[in-house]
Amino acid sequence: MEADPAGRGRSNDEHVLHERTATLQALLQGVRDYAIYTINPEGRINSWHRGAELMKGYSAEEAVGMPFSTIFTPEDRERGQPEHELRVAAETGEYKGEGKRVRKDGNLIEVAVVLTALRGPGGELLGFLKLTQDITARRAEERAREEALRASQIARAEAERASHSKGEFLATLSHELRTPLSAILGWAQVLERGLFDADTLKHGLEAISRNAKMQVRLIEDLLDMTRIESGQLRLDLQRIELDSVLAAAIDSALPAATAQGLTLRTAFGTDGCWVMGDPARLQQIVANLLNNAIKFTPRGGRIDVTLDRIGREHVITVSDTGQGIAPDFLPKLFDRFQQQDATTTRRHGGLGIGLAIVRQLVSLHGGAVQAHSEGLGRGATFTVRLPGVADMGALGLPSLPAAPPPDVASRLDGVNVLLVDDEADVRAITARVLQSAGARVTTASTAAEGLRLLRQAPPAVLLSDIGMPVQDGYDLIRQVRALPADAGGRVPAAAFTAFAGRDDTERALNAGYQLHLAKPVTPDALVAAVAQLAAAERVN
């Protein structure tokens, strides 16, 4: 009996189909970089391959029968993204897109997907085949490149801006230096010729002096900015009352304000606004703010200076009725070399670093400064906040007046100074410097000897080293402060030491000294410090 040829052919086709299906299944299971799975027409997963398990975290047993919308984010499910993808694939044959999916462990991955409709011989929808690629790493790299590009563009723009600002600054610096030099050279040539009367001579000398001082201020501002930025500016920290600092700055600014027809008013809310600071630098802060207000306030305007205590902070405000500040310039106001009007037609001179110096000096004192203005033509207010310290009066010690200006020579005529230092050479040169300024100096090589001499004849000023054998300068000042006032217990004192760190300064002041002088110190600075202490002794 012959075999059925048709049946044999059908059996061969089924065998080939089975082999091809097995081969495809093996191929799909070997693909690990892609998630490949099928979905029935109702949106449930009905096959799940190895790549899908690795990418999504679900095993085949967990995934088969699960709605494929489970791996979408809650936001995508809420807006119907799973249904949208199935609908587009059913209508057009294929859906392509990118998005975020949720792994079994809850982590998000970024994916690129292709969803293809599967149809039977008659066109009926049998389900869908989904191919998913994990592009999380690629997207992260792209974002990193984009961020690097943005950073590069920002850095380039900043460099261009800095270059432009530097060019403007150099042009301004040239102008600001040449202007007073021109006046100095011009008057010098006039005076050299000798063809002038007494009034002309007086006027010429005043012009030379005034313009030379302008040059000095410009150079000092530049040096201050350089020292601050390089970290080389050292503060001579001491407990000081802000009232005296403000009074000194206002006295210095008053002639300029009066000459310009401005009213300068003050209001000090409380007494005893003590801070730990450098008197000269604090005065510089206030002076810069006052000079700025005077420069930008028209004739007939008003400047108000206030001092108050708010909690543990002391607040200084300098406000004016001047030209005000444009809103877009306020964020740049304290940047160096920035000027609201940097054109060649500007009305006001300067380098544009005065307020930058103010911000840096305030920051070095542990404080903050800010500016406020309602806009052009509506004036401006500058507020400085400084941390307060204990009142010197509460500690039973005399308060210090503001330090004399550095260009004013100090004299110590008749001032009795007790100098305690274990180094003979230091005692000798220090005593000579003070004696040349008129002081009477007694020296001691140990803390014990210094205390004995102080008890015998209380001096007007005590200068003591810190690092000494047996007893150091801290021991000495503690024993001195334990004495009655009439026995020298309240003598104004300075720590004269090579321990020059900020912590050393604070430790010396907390121990009972009123000044901290870091060795080496110039003769002028030494004499000025002793004069300041002597003035405190006389006042108190």
pLDDT tens digits along 477-529: 999 999 998 899 999 999 988 877 667 888 888 889 998 888 777 788 889 88
Residue entry with tokens 């400064």: 369
Question: For residue 56, what are its two tokens?
Answer: 């999504």
> CB–CB of 294/257 below 8 Å?
yes
CATH topology of domain 17-134: Beta-Lactamase (3.30.450)
The pLDDT value given to residue 277: 85
- Give the range among 225-234, 237-246, 433-442 with minimum mean pLDDT: 225-234
- Give the range among 181-185, 200-204, 244-248, 369-373 with minimum mean pLDDT: 181-185
CA 225 – CA 119 distance, rounded (Å): 78
How crowded is the C-beta side of 165, counted as CA atoms within 13 Å? 16
The pLDDT tens digits of the residues spanning 266-319 come to 888 766 678 888 888 898 899 889 988 998 899 999 999 999 988 888 999 999
CATH topology of domain 153-230: Helix Hairpins (1.10.287)
As assigned by CATH, the class of the 240-393 domain is: alpha beta
Residue entry with tokens 């302008």: 214
The pLDDT value given to residue 499: 79
Dihedral pair phi/psi, residue 497, rounded to 5°: -145, 160
HEC letters along 299-317? CCCEEEEEEEEECCEEEEE
Question: For residue 424, what are its two tokens?
Answer: 């003979």
Dihedral pair phi/psi, residue 263, rounded to 5°: -95, 125
Q: Which burial class, exposed, middle or buried, applies to 60 when counting CB atoms under 10 A from its CB (0-12, 13-18, 19+)?
A: middle
3-state secondary structure of 129: strand
Helix or strand holding residue 78 (H, E): helix 74-78
Question: For residue 417, what are its two tokens?
Answer: 């100074």
Q: Average of pLDDT values for 85-96?
A: 94
The pLDDT value given to residue 26: 57
Judged against a pLDDT cut of 70, whether residue 214 lies above it is answered with no
Judged against a pLDDT cut of 90, whether residue 193 lies above it is answered with no
pTM above 0.95, yes or no: no
Q: Place 12 in a pLDDT band, splitting at 50, 70 and 90.
A: low
Q: Average of pLDDT values for 355-364?
A: 86
Q: Average of pLDDT values for 76-94?
A: 94
Q: Place 401 in a pLDDT band, splitting at 50, 70 and 90.
A: low
User: Between 195 and 404, where is the model more confident?
Assistant: 195
The pLDDT value given to residue 22: 55
Q: Mean pLDDT, the chain, as a whole number?
A: 81
> CB–CB of 305/316 below 8 Å?
yes
Q: Place 392 in a pLDDT band, splitting at 50, 70 and 90.
A: very low
CA 248 – CA 228 distance, rounded (Å): 24
Q: Domain spans of the chain?
A: 17-134, 153-230, 240-393, 409-539
CA angle 99/100/104 to nearest 5° reads 145
Question: For residue 332, what are its two tokens?
Answer: 């740049």
The pLDDT value given to residue 347: 45
As assigned by CATH, the class of the 409-539 domain is: alpha beta
The pLDDT value given to residue 342: 44
The pLDDT value given to residue 416: 94
The pLDDT value given to residue 197: 78
Q: Walk across the sheet containing 493-497 and list its strands.
A: 440-444, 416-420, 461-464, 493-497, 515-518
CA 312 – CA 361 distance, rounded (Å): 20
Residue 501 CA: distances (Å) to CA of 234, 259, 505: 9, 43, 6
Q: Average of pLDDT values for 112-124?
A: 91
